[in-house]
Structure 1
């Protein structure tokens, strides 16, 4: 009889505790998706946040051709249309640059690692433009690899030079930005554009094996200087891009966004934590470690203020 009562009590307890635990898990779970090249940075922040908030469950669901059906936070690498922006709160966490790269074995890499690219050469090589003056000095064979789907990197790259994504020449590759690098490494004529976080080994801070970073005319004087060819160290490249007014390097913000009607308190809490830590001085270390440039302080402060008001809304 005592055994039956014990089993009955345990069953009742499990019925009470299980829903509470399930509810707590659901409340603390946050799903993040978006641009894939940002995942390593976001994973670092998730790790730091959950160390201080062990009950939190924050997961990245990898974006494929489309976003997952349900998510709380979106991380993106380009400005959305006005209609979309009106429905979401934004946090600009840092900036990414786009650098021209080539297969290290290519004739293009050997020639342009020395002579580099100016604006005219850049446009002649990468874009379809029937009105543009062609650079007839370009005789080296090359094969351009670009993104097939609409995405932050190709949109930013094209917009900087005054074009649309569909104006970029070359073979359009399905998948994420890292697939351009994989395609380029298999083709000894391959060239493309990519972020520092994909072009460099984040541990050694040197270009990844098989890749040559092509120098560009940073000051717009039409020549490539010795300093502009100094691309062997990621930290030096970041420092140069952050501290100088540069040309011929597209730069854009990377940001988190959340639906203005999202009531997931843990998602709001995590986003505000990111905002607070992105403003803190040590966050520059995270950004630089993963190949990003720091955000403009006032923009971060303004975004954080808006998020504090949003987080207060239950």
Structure 2
């Protein structure tokens, strides 16, 4: 009888212990979702964060055609609407650039890796512009096929807005899926031309362009021609150095931001964001991202520290 009672007490204590453990795991669990081209960078941050916070349970749940039903941190690559910002707190943590590229075996790549692309040519190749004066357009005799994203996403929205258009104005074949699917589709088409982020266009180990792709130079000083010193796309580190050095023409650059709910915020998610601001900047170049403007970064860091999230 006594042994049965003792067993019951032990079982109850064990059961209560399991509940406490489960509660601790739930308390430390963070789900992240959003723009997929940022996942490798965020995965690196998670791995480093968990080295000093081993009880943290941070996972990425991949976005499909929609976001997961529940998540704590949302990564996005374009400025949200004002109505969306009413319920979420945003911190801007890194920047990304968008570069034109072509299938390396295409006649387009061979021609425009030498000539480069001016503002006028970019608009002519990539956009349906009902206001353009057709008499001023260049006659293009080489074959090319523009590829773009089907769904609304950071890269096409940013690319279009930079040149004064909307995503719906981008020409060409619309590919479903993420930005990496766009790159894969273009690799299969010898006439393919598109735009993407450096992290997807370069091999992150060799720092060279992905085999089969040619990154196309653009008129970065706005003088309507592309000179030799504007052709620096053979090495990712040089590209990032050049893009961070000055304000450039014809290179769309936008912020990556992470957001959490203003109310009922997961404390572990906020703790993770604060860690990223303290330690995550050293990883940006590794994955093809640009560092934020120094003044803007400090403002965002101060903003995060002052948040009264609950």
Normalised to the residue count of structure 2, the TM-score between the two structures is 0.96
Question: 1:98 & 1:126 partners in 2: Cα distance?
Answer: 13
Write the deviation string for residues 211-244 of structure 1: whole angstroms up to 9, x where unpaired.
0001111111112111212210000011011002
Structure 1 residues 154 and 313: alpha-carbon distance in aligned structure 2, compared to 1, 3 A threshold: closer
User: In the alignment, which residue of structure 2 is the partner of 1:145?
Assistant: 147
Write the deviation string for residues 224-279 of structure 1: whole angstroms up to 9, x where unpaired.
1112122100000110110022100100000101110133110111111112235x
User: In the alignment, which residue of structure 2 is the partner of 1:170?
Assistant: 172
SS of 2:74's equivalent in the other structure is strand
Write the deviation string for residues 267-294 of structure 1: whole angstroms up to 9, x where unpaired.
111111112235xxxx2x3111110110
User: In the alignment, which residue of structure 1 is the partner of 2:128?
Assistant: 128
Question: 2:172 & 2:153 partners in 1: Cα distance?
Answer: 16
Question: 1:231 & 1:266 partners in 2: Cα distance?
Answer: 40
Structure 1: where are the runs of 5+ without partners?
Answer: none
User: In the alignment, which residue of structure 2 is the partner of 1:296?
Assistant: 293
Alignment of 1:1-314 (within 5 A): 4-5=4-5, 7-134=7-134, 135-278=137-280, 283=281, 285-310=282-307, 312-314=308-310
Structure 1 outlier segments of 4+, above 3 Å: 1-7
Does the 8 A contact of 2:264 with 2:309 survive in 1? Answer: no
* Displacement of 1:91: 1.2
* Displacement of 1:2: 6.7
SS of 1:252's equivalent in the other structure is strand
How many residue pairs get matched? 308
Question: 1:26 & 1:34 partners in 2: Cα distance?
Answer: 21
Question: 1:242 & 1:303 partners in 2: Cα distance?
Answer: 19
Does the 8 A contact of 2:179 with 2:196 survive in 1? Answer: yes
Question: 1:177 & 1:95 partners in 2: Cα distance?
Answer: 16
* Displacement of 1:307: 1.7
Question: 1:116 & 1:145 partners in 2: Cα distance?
Answer: 19
SS of 2:269's equivalent in the other structure is helix
